[in-house]
Structure 1
Amino acid sequence: MMKSLAKIGITIALIVVVALRAGVWDAVDRVLSLLPSVLLASAALYLLALAVQSVKLRVLLPECPFSLLFRVTMLGQFYGLVLFGQVGGDIARTVCLARACDDPHKVVAASLFDRITGLIGLLILTMASLWLETDHFSTGLRLTMAFLCGGIGLALAALLLPLHRLLAPVLALLPFADRWSGHLERVRTALTTFVARPRLAMLSILWGVVFQAMVVAICAVLGAGIGIDLPPTVWAVVMGVLSLVLLAPVSVGGVGLRDVTLVGMLAGFGVSADAAFALSLTLLGLQLLGGAIGGVLSLMPPAAPQAAPSSNCPPSH
């Protein structure tokens, strides 16, 4: 309870900071002046990005039908808002998928593996954009950011290899670990299977790059509609940093934190605070769209997936 109240307080404080710096009504006017074609294109790209995310997860869980994976991905968007962050959404998505599949331990392992490969894909695109973009970033800044991103990426890659061995001793420190020892061992076994297939990891990372590229495309479309003229490489760096910042569970659904980050970063490229705030509001709108669709799906009984005979994900009731 106290953590939730703290997040709400931090969210309100961050919004106040942005409101004092940006012209709130000017930002709202920019959002309202967006062409319907821009809104439709960004919404379509957003849903396509979530479909890509579902395909990425299906690389690790080929026995699960795409329709089921897309459904739980949308549910994750809803619970990410309700449970105050990406981590809550990931946990909810994993729980929903585990209930629908015969092998919940493999689902948990796949979710962990999927999150790490997604972060690696994000860092790859960010570093490549830093390397290509020479007009908006100084050499010193490019080297510094590339070093930081590369260090994080290498740390994640290094964690990926022994992840199945590190999981058990770490989780053994949690309360009631003895009761869950059998489940932890099955998750570790599933992780061992993923780690033993490097081509699987590379394919998952590649889909992670594609997903992040879709996010960059969304921001480029919305930015152009608002009047922010930046090259795709700059957008890739901005969204890469923003994605890492939003991993911090300090605000409700990233609200406030996203606003402050975008206003601060885009100011370095000559973007006005109200334009950056308008972009943040449109991104929040897309997040609410995904949450609304996920909320509707949460009220509907799951459709029976048309799986192959060998599927490990039978219809849930």
Structure 2
Amino acid sequence: MPAFAKTLLKIAVSVGLILLLLSKIDTAAIGRQLAAADLRWTLATTALFIVSILLRTVRWKILLDAQGVRVPYLRLSRWYYIGAFFNTLLPTGFGGDVVRTVELAQYSRQTPSAVGTVLLDRFLGILVLLGLGVVAIPLSRADIPMSLYAVVVALFVLAAGGFALLRQQRLVMYLRDRLLGLLPGALRSRVERLTWFRPLYMALQGYERRILFTALAASLIFNFDWILINMLAGLAVGIRLPAADYLVLVPLVSLALLLPSFGGVGVRELSYVGLFGQLGVPGETAFAMSLIVYAATVVTGLVGGLLLLEQTLRPQPTSRPEPEL
């Protein structure tokens, strides 16, 4: 499907989901909820969201340092904020990854390492997210369908299994040769041209197990920070749920945001309304909570936009090494 058609489809999905939600809940009540929202908790949500980018940067720097790619922490965090800006503009949550890859490749002049570390950074985040879902769903008070849990478990097993397999270089080469040998010539040629996974595979070969576990720990800390962000947004609209409920529901919301949509719009709101509604939160309140989280996302993106503007107005030679911070 052409890229333009995919974008139109994502927009249609987002618009359709929003219209569906608005037809079932009281839009005036959403406005009242937002007007009555506690400004202190709303500002705290936004501030913590902005700071959360710095936690993500830690994971990325761990991976880069292990590869011998020395980039100052503040420069990496700047690229992450700029990536967040593009995530708010582009119809996918992966637009920022492209920006980070380009910036890092230009600075380090090591394109394979740039692509590999950005892909691995994203992959480790998703792996931890799936792991949290596997652990949290059985503990949930919400009525989570077993079919959904089965999907989460299957995705986690595939991701963890793929992660472990890609670390076994000889086994991967053996399986590749054997499987390619079973394919007819034309199909084999097409498969051999599939190169999207190679940067991730090559990146994994260069890391000690200790480094990967450290990066996974950084991902776990970020996800707990993300849960806290949602708790603050809930407090802003008067939701009083135990932390354990957020521990279960927030990873599920994050997983839903991986589904195709325009910047998560529609999917995000439907997830909040559907999941928090299971615990007795009115749909209007859950919708208002999702808007506060989205507003924090947009503000964080605007921080990245300001950094991009400053970088554009005062360009600096990105290839020149800088002292470590």
Task: Give TM-score scaled by structure 2 length.
Answer: 0.81
Distance change in 2, residues 1:184/1:85 (3 Å): closer
The superposition leaves residues 235-265 of structure 1 with CA deviations (integer Å, 9 ceiling, x where unpaired) of 122111111111122x211111111111111
Secondary structure at the aligned position of 1:84 is classed as coil
CA distance in 1, matches of 2:75, 2:220: 23
AA matched with 1:241: L
Note the C-alpha offset of 1:137.
4.6
Q: Work out which of the residue numbers 306, 310, 314 in structure 2 matches 1:296.
A: 306
Distance change in 2, residues 1:209/1:188 (3 Å): closer
Q: Which residue of 1 aligns with 2:206?
A: 193
The superposition leaves residues 135-184 of structure 1 with CA deviations (integer Å, 9 ceiling, x where unpaired) of x257xx598766554432232121113337679999x8489x59xx8x99
Q: Which residue of 1 aligns with 2:90?
A: 83
8 Å CA contact 2:14–2:265 kept in 1: the answer is yes
AA matched with 1:91: V
CA distance in 1, matches of 2:199, 2:11: 37
8 Å CA contact 1:130–1:233 kept in 2: the answer is no
CA distance in 2, matches of 1:213, 1:226: 21
CA distance in 2, matches of 1:77, 1:218: 16
Q: Which residue of 2 aligns with 1:254?
A: 264
AA matched with 2:304: G
Distance change in 2, residues 1:220/1:273 (3 Å): same
8 Å CA contact 1:22–1:277 kept in 2: the answer is no
CA distance in 1, matches of 2:26, 2:273: 12
AA matched with 2:23: L
RMSD across aligned positions (CA): 3.1
CA distance in 2, matches of 1:295, 1:67: 16
1:112-123 alignment runs, 5 A limit: 112-123=119-130
Secondary structure at the aligned position of 1:161 is classed as helix
CA distance in 2, matches of 1:162, 1:2: 35
Distance change in 2, residues 1:173/1:199 (3 Å): farther
8 Å CA contact 2:82–2:304 kept in 1: the answer is yes
Distance change in 2, residues 1:243/1:307 (3 Å): same
Q: Which residue of 1 aligns with 2:136?
A: 129
8 Å CA contact 2:259–2:267 kept in 1: the answer is no
Q: Work out which of the residue numbers 10, 25, 41 in structure 2 matches 1:22.
A: 25
Task: Give TM-score scaled by structure 1 length.
Answer: 0.83
The superposition leaves residues 3-38 of structure 1 with CA deviations (integer Å, 9 ceiling, x where unpaired) of 222222222111111111122222122222222221
CA distance in 1, matches of 2:128, 2:108: 27
Secondary structure at the aligned position of 1:300 is classed as helix
Distance change in 2, residues 1:258/1:137 (3 Å): closer
1:271-310 alignment runs, 5 A limit: 271-301=281-311, 306-308=322-324
Q: Work out which of the residue numbers 35, 39, 43 in structure 2 matches 1:40.
A: 43
Q: Which residue of 1 aligns with 2:226?
A: 215
AA matched with 2:33: R
1:131-146 alignment runs, 5 A limit: 133=139, 136-137=141-142
Note the C-alpha offset of 1:186.
7.2
Q: Which residue of 1 aligns with 2:184?
A: none
CA distance in 2, matches of 1:31, 1:99: 43
Q: Which residue of 2 aligns with 1:93?
A: 100
AA matched with 2:323: A
Identity between Structure 1 and Structure 2 (%)? 25
Contiguous gaps of at least 5 residues in structure 1: 312-317
Q: Work out which of the residue numbers 56, 68, 75 in structure 2 matches 1:68.
A: 75
1:245 aligns with 2:276: no
1:145-184 alignment runs, 5 A limit: 148-163=151-166, 173=190, 177=193
AA matched with 1:277: F
Q: 197-206 vs 270-279, which deviates more?
A: 197-206
Q: Which residue of 2 aligns with 1:49?
A: 52
Note the C-alpha offset of 1:108.
1.0
Distance change in 2, residues 1:307/1:155 (3 Å): farther
8 Å CA contact 2:21–2:270 kept in 1: the answer is yes
Secondary structure at the aligned position of 1:254 is classed as coil
